[in-house]
Amino acid sequence: GAVVSQHPSRVICKSGTSVKIECRSLDFQATTMFWYRQFPKQSLMLMATSNEGSKATYEQGVEKDKFLINHASLTLSTLTVTSAHPEDSSFYICSALDSLSGNTIYFGEGSWLTVV
What sign does the dihedral 40-3-17-116 (CA atoms) show? positive
- In the stretch 50-89, what mask flags binding to other proteins with x, by CB under 8 A? ----------------------------------------
Instruction: Give the separation between CA 107 and CA 4, rounded to whole angstroms.
Output: 6
Min dist. Cβ of residue 94 to other proteins (A) = 10
One character per residue 2-31, x = contact with other proteins (rule: CB under 8 A): --x---------------------------
Which of the residues 33 through 52 are near other proteins (CB under 8 A)? Answer: 34, 41-46, 49
Omega prior to 86 cis, within 30 of 0: no
Phi, then psi, of 111 in degrees rounded to 5: -135, 125
CA dist 11 and 66 (Å) reads: 17
Residues at the site binding other proteins, with contacts judged by CB under 8 A:
1, 4, 32, 34, 41-46, 49, 93, 95, 97, 103-110
